[in-house]
Amino acid sequence: MTETASGPTLAEIEAARDVVARVAQGTPMESSRYLQEVLGSPVLLKCENLQRTGSYKIRGAYYRLSRLTAEERARGVVAASAGNHAQGVAFAARELGIKATIFMPLGVALPKLQATRSYGADVQLRGHTVTEPLLAAAEFAAETGAVLIPPFDHIDVVTGQGTLGLEILDQVPDVATVVVPIGGGGLISGVASAVKQRAAAEGRSIRVIGVQAEHAAAYPPSLAAGTAVDITIEPTIADGIAVARPGLLNFELVREYVDEVVTVSEDDIARALLVLLERAKLVVEPAGAVSVAAILAGDVPALGPTVAILSGGNIDPLLMQRVISHGLAASDRYLTLKIMLPDRPGQLARISELLAEARANVNEVLHTRHGTGLQLTEVELDISVETRGPEHRQQVVDLLRGAGYDPQFG
Three-class SS state of 274: helix
Q: Of residues 46, 57, 112, 196, which has the active-site annotation?
A: 57
Are 315 and 287 within 8 A, CB to CB? no
Active-site residue, 311 included: yes
DSSP H helices, 202-358, are 219-225, 248-257, 266-279, 290-296, 317-330, 347-357
Active-site residue, 331 included: no
Which uninterrupted H or E stretch holds 158?
helix 155-171
Q: Of residues 55, 222, 291, 311, which has the active-site annotation?
A: 311
The residues, any chain, with a CB within 8 Å of residue 174's CB and separated by 6 or more, are 304, 305
How far is the CA of 390 from the CAs of 4, 278, 332, 337, 404, in angstroms? 49, 18, 5, 15, 22
Are 193 and 4 within 8 A, CB to CB? yes
Output the CA torsion 320→325→327→332 (10° steps): 170
The values of phi and psi at residue 220, to 5°, are -55, -50
Are 222 and 251 within 8 A, CB to CB? yes
Are 229 and 222 within 8 A, CB to CB? yes
Are 347 and 379 within 8 A, CB to CB? yes
Instruction: Give the residue numbers marked as catalytic.
Output: 57, 311
